[in-house]
Amino acid sequence: MMENRDIHVYFLGRVPYADGLQLQKEIHGRVVDKKQVSSLLFLEHPPVLTLGKNASNRDVLVTMEELEREGIDLEHVDRGGEATAHEPGQLVVYPILDLRTFQLGPKVFVNRLEDVVIKLLAEYGLSAYRDAEFPGVWVKDAKICSVGFRISRGVSYHGIALNVSTTLDTFSKIVPCGIQNRGLTTLARLVGKELLVTELAERFLQIFRESFAVAAVTYSRKTL
């Protein structure tokens, strides 16, 4: 019998957004049916814009022709939130967690994930915080981590995106998260050196294990 608080971790490397979403849905179904323990996916995406349930096409500032010329995909997705962007150099984490076995309500779950990011950034000397009005994690007046989830049948999917060493170029194509008067930043920019996404993933996992009282972890290291 599977221990309730075991998790399986996937280190997937760089994965097209649509492929990553399909994998999330497959794992979500298995977790719902108790055929797999809760899981955590670590990956990066090629440039892509995603529009959540509260977004509209007005949040995209360029034409589809321009996106096609630059090789940027556009995806309408079923997570909460508005428009965001993914690109290489960003740590994307998709927790597919059975919230009942972790005894978490949706708000506590999201806040605890934000706290994992805040603790991680503190190790780099940064004082990060959550904003009651705008979900995610902030440093000074700039957003460094986006958050957007869907919870279906008690199990979460979608997740967070931490700007590690990304250029932020893809974000210039949208109104990110519906916010027009505050900026974006990256960890590399704030600490003044290049950082590896894989390094952040390993440390994120360690803090996650402590924060969520995970019992045991198994791993898959592969690309799709």
What secondary structure letter does DSSP report for 45?
A: -
Establish whether 177 is a catalytic residue: yes
The pLDDT of residue 81:
76
Number of independent structural domains in the chain: 1
**What would the pLDDT profile of 45-93 be if each residue is shown by its tens digit?**
999 998 887 777 778 888 888 889 999 988 888 887 788 899 999 999 9
Residue 71 is assigned to a structural domain of this protein: yes
Residue 178 is assigned to a structural domain of this protein: yes
**What would the pLDDT profile of 148-204 be if each residue is shown by its tens digit?**
899 999 999 999 999 999 999 998 888 765 566 678 999 999 999 989 999 999 999
> Looking at residues 116-143, what average pLDDT do you find?
93
Q: What is the three-class DSSP state of 183?
A: strand
Kindly report the CATH number assigned to the domain that includes residue 124.
3.30.930.10
Domain housing 84: 7-221
**What would the pLDDT profile of 140-151 be if each residue is shown by its tens digit?**
989 999 998 999
Of 53, 74, 28, residue with least CA distance to 174: 74
Residue position matching structure tokens 């007005």: 58
> Looking at residues 27-47, what average pLDDT do you find?
96
The pLDDT of residue 1:
38
Q: Helix H segments across the chain?
A: 17-32, 64-69, 106-122, 187-191, 197-211
The amino acid occupying position 205 is L
Catalytic residue among 91, 104, 177, 201: 177
Of 1, 214, 211, 207, residue with least CA distance to 120: 207
Residue 24 is assigned to a structural domain of this protein: yes
Encoded tokens for 112: 């605890």
* Residue 90: strand pairing partners: 163
**Does residue 12 contact residue 42 with C-beta atoms inside 8 Å?**
yes
The overall pTM is greater than 0.85: yes
What would you report as the CA-atom Rg of the chain, rounded to the nearest whole angstrom? Answer: 17
What secondary structure letter does DSSP report for 60?
A: B
Residue 1 is assigned to a structural domain of this protein: no
The pLDDT of residue 2:
45
